[in-house]
Amino acid sequence: MAINEQRFYYCPKCGGKLTYRYIGEERPRLVCDACQYVLYENPVVGVAAIVLNNHKQILLGRRTGGRYPGLWCIPCGYVEYDEDVYDAIRREFKEETNLDIEPVRVFTVLSNFHDPEKHSVGIWFWARVNSGEPLAGDDLDQVAFFDLSDPPPLAFPTDRVVIERLHADNGKEQLNIVL
Ligand SMILES: [Zn+2]
C-alpha cells in the first residue's frame, strides 16, 4: 500500500478534515485542516509466544473471528496502550489458551504487512508454561501442538517465517525451556 493511500479522513481530536500535507519531512502527513493535529500513521505492536512441548511441537490456535477464521496462528494479540509488552503476552496467552506463561526472552521481532489496514510490529517471545491445561478461549476454538515441519494452514505469513526458523534451528535454541 502506498503511504499516501488515505485511510483516515477525520481528525480524532476535533473531527475536522484530514489532508496529506508536507510538513518538512520526506513523506506527507495527515494534518487536520481545522486544528493542525498531525495524525502519524505508525504500526501497532503485537505479541506472540512460542510454547513447545517435549516433542518439540509448537502450540498453535485456530481462529474463529476476524479476517482469518479457520486458520491457525501462534497465540497472539495486541498490546494495550497502557500495558507493558510482557504483561500483554501473559494476558493474551491466558485469554486464548488458558495457560499461565512466563515470557523468557525474545525470539524475534518482525514487521507484519499482511493487513494493509493495520500494519504491526510483532514480538515473538520464548515462553515457559507455569500452570494450566491448554483450552481454547477468546477468538480461538481449538488449541493443539503441531510438528514444526508440518504446521496447519496459517493465518499470518510471519508465523510461517518463525516456524520455519524454529524448524531450521532443529531444537537447539529451545532445549533449555521445554515444558
Ligand atoms: Zn483537528
Q: Verify that 20 and 74 share a domain, yes or no.
A: no
Q: How far is the CA of 9 from the centre of ligand 1 (A)?
A: 11
Residue 3: CATH number of its domain: 2.20.70.10
Work out whether the CA dihedral 56, 62, 66, 69 comes out positive or negative: positive
Hey, which residues does 131 pair with through a beta bridge? Answer: 100
Q: 5 is in which domain, residue-wise? A: 1-41
Q: How far is the CA of 84 from the centre of ligand 1 (A)?
A: 29
Q: Give the mean pLDDT per block of 10 residues along the chain (179 residues).
A: 75 97 93 97 97 94 88 96 98 95 95 92 96 87 95 96 91 54
pLDDT at 117: 87
pLDDT at 138: 83
Q: Verify that 73 and 106 share a domain, yes or no.
A: yes
Q: How far is the CA of 40 from the centre of ligand 1 (A)?
A: 13
Q: How far is the CA of 30 from the centre of ligand 1 (A)?
A: 10
Q: Verify that 3 and 55 share a domain, yes or no.
A: no
pLDDT at 1: 44
Structural domains in the chain (count): 2
Query: Is 178 inside a domain boundary?
Result: no
Give the DSSP letter string of 56-83: SEEEEEEE-STT-TT-EE-SEEEPPTT-
d(CA 11, CA 34): 9
d(CA 9, CA 82): 26
Q: How far is the CA of 20 from the centre of ligand 1 (A)?
A: 13
The C-alpha cell of 53 is what? Answer: 512441548
Query: Is 99 inside a domain boundary?
Result: yes
Q: Verify that 63 and 148 share a domain, yes or no.
A: yes
Full-model pTM:
0.88
d(CA 170, CA 56): 9
d(CA 24, CA 46): 30
pLDDT at 172: 63
DSSP helix/strand/coil, 20? strand
Query: Is 179 inside a domain boundary?
Result: no
pLDDT at 154: 97
